[in-house]
Structure 1
Amino acid sequence: MTPATFSVSIPQIVDGDFDEEGVRDYLVRAEELGFEGAWTSEQTVGGAAMLAPLELLSWAAACTSRLRLGVAVIVSSLHDPLQLAAAATSVDRLSHGRLDLGVGSGGDFRPFAAFGVARETFIASYTEGIELMKAAWADGPTVTFHGRFRDAEGLAIPLKPVQRPHPPLWFGGGAPRALARAVRLGDGFMGAGSSTTEHFRGAAATVREELARRGRHGDGFRIGKRVYLAIDDDPARARRVADEGLFRLYGALTTRFGEVAVTGTPEQVADGLREVVDAGARTVLLNPMGSDVAADREQLERLHAEVLPLLR
């Protein structure tokens, strides 16, 4: 029996009108099939026409009753912490305590000037912002916080998340300092879909070492990875579908990634996912690379019927 649980991505790219019925059916079916959760990602600036993650999760909460609802990751260095905390609280409330919130600094290639963020201090501001979010979620009707970048004295924030002390915080990143930060401040680490399995293996090992150093083994910290995938009886066609999907998301940046997608026949995809689990993933976020909701729904069915049984 594989030690991992499996979640799925929510179709998020909108070419034309939003396919409300298709996405609702996809979520309902994912819940029926027993997937653990349904996750979004964030791309505020980029080539893909993507719905905003927390807003989509708020909508998804009304379509489901059991699925965990996650985002991996919001580039929180580009968000106001108090506003982000309030939005997350709302989704957690609307879903009756089903939110998983992933955050990341985004790396120094982000267009910080467009967001009014100083490139020189964005990591320090990002880390402080996480602490302020936790203060906003803490018990008590008011928040007092004195930091380097933000100062709050007795602010009234009465609405708190259902999950205490706050929704699980998943961290992205790959550098050693980012992984240490994930263990110090978070409840989980989510490896990027744009990272190879081998790169994730090294990151997961670093996270486990940091957990041991901090005495956190056994406290529920989760290690996961998003996996871009395409299933097809024709392996070459599966690879083309994945490559086209990656280009829709990342454009020319895809040339930097290496072989990140798991593609091929059901047996080949199962082998690729087994490698991800063996590398340390205990939460696997399955991200079909279909061109539309119908294609992702077909991949969802094949994952359940043809791929996951090979991992049990």
Structure 2
Amino acid sequence: MRYAISIPQFYADGEFDPRAFGAYVRRAEELGFHSGWTQEQVLTMNAMPQLGAVETMTYAAALTERLRLGCAVFVTPLHSPVHLARSLATLDQLSGGRVEVGVGSGGTRRPFAAFGIDPEGLISRFTEGIEVMRALWSRPSVDFEGRFWQLRDARILPGPVQKPSPPVWFGGGHPNALRRAARLGDGFFGAGSATTAAFAEQVRTLRAELAAAGRDAAGFPIAKRVYIAVDEDTGRARRRVEDALEKLYGTTAFAPVAVTGTPEQCVAGVREVIAAGAELVLFTPLFDEAEQMERVAAQIVPGLA
């Protein structure tokens, strides 16, 4: 088992405290977390102001030495794969090879017009973009003739430290998304909005698809984001999580997915996620992040051993 922690990103204009942020990511490293993860939301579509994913990862990389750094997930169809490949290769160099890359198609409700993108062929754009990035990361020169992108003798130098590329985790819970993950991914990342029961079903489907694709499930890691609130006052923990998730998603419908309550209750909830198939758990506090991280490390992780 490996355990990860979310990197704080939710700050209103003027609220960001560089010292507190630095203390948080350095402490995450001291506590032994495997990795720290961001989320991507380019346009602020809800009541949660949010710093950019790559920029936050880069700042965290400069303040740490061992903590791996990821995003779960980049909505890659909204990016130029050439630009994103360059940014992540550079970050992999700057961090000494500590980058993890989560990718997802983002679904059809994204504001595509704001990005100059036609939603027609979304999945083809998604898979082709991943192919372009991996080619640029792994080859000295790339010729590519695709539906959306064409490259001639294209190079990104220096490439990433990790060869042939940083790990690419696929998100998405639809059976077709799980099939793509099994065929194209280096791992699967279950969404924080998925219930444990839904995640368990995704894992069963994914393992069947891995077998059908002739891939060894032992070499294909599975992760799950877990929204968590540790508090002896179980009612207060639930209310604070509901408020935060409503701001994040614009609805309280996802509140039941969170693991909340006393340390004993939280250990039991996370054990269910692990039993469902998670090999990496991404703990994501939604308030009092530094305090919650300390409680996770002291009261939750030891209870999972």
TM range (shorter): over 0.9
> Could you say what secondary structure the match of 1:160 adopts?
coil
Structure 1 stretches of 4+ moved >6 Å: none
TM superposition shift of 1:258? 5.9
State the TM-score, normalized to the length of structure 1: 0.94
1:98 aligns with 2:113: no
How many Å separate the matches in 1 of 2:200 and 2:238?
23
Amino acid at match of 2:145: H
Structure 2 CA distance for aligned equivalents of residues 209 and 84 of structure 1: 31
TM-aligned CA deviation for residue 118 of structure 1:
1.4
Task: For residue 220 of structure 1, report the CA deviation from its aligned partner.
Answer: 2.2
- 1:36-115 matches, within 5 Å, as 36-45=34-43, 46-47=45-46, 48-115=48-115
Tell me how far apart the structure 2 counterparts of residues 6 and 248 of structure 1 sit (CA, whole Å): 26
C-alpha separation in 2, matches of 1:154 and 1:307: 51
Question: Retained in 1: the 8 A contact 2:144–2:151?
Answer: yes
Q: CA deviation at 1:122?
A: 1.2
Matched residues in 1 for 2:40 and 2:157: separation? Answer: 28
Deviations along 1:105-154, whole A, 9 cap, x unmatched? Answer: 001111112112212211111111110111111231x2210001111111
Other-structure match for 1:285: 282
CA displacement at 1:66 relative to structure 2: 0.8
State the match for 2:296 in structure 1: 303
Secondary structure in structure 2 of the residue aligned to 1:285: strand
Q: Secondary structure at the match of 2:219?
A: coil
How many equivalent residue pairs?
302
CA contact (8 A) 2:169 2:187 kept: yes
Percent of residue pairs bearing the same amino acid type: 51
Tell me how far 1:85 sits from its aligned partner: 0.5
1:1-312 aligned at under 5 Å gives the runs: 4-15=1-12, 16-45=14-43, 46-47=45-46, 48-140=48-140, 142-217=141-216, 220-252=219-251, 254-255=252-253, 257=254, 259-290=256-287, 295-312=288-305
Q: Which runs of 5+ in 1 are unaligned?
A: none
- Look up the equivalent residue of 2:266 and give its one-letter code: V
Give yes or no for contact 1:189–1:222 (8 Å, CA) kept in 2.
yes
Q: Which amino acid aligns with 2:298?
A: A
Aligned-pair distance for 1:219?
Answer: 5.6
CA–CA distance in structure 1, aligned partners of residues 178 and 106 of structure 2: 13
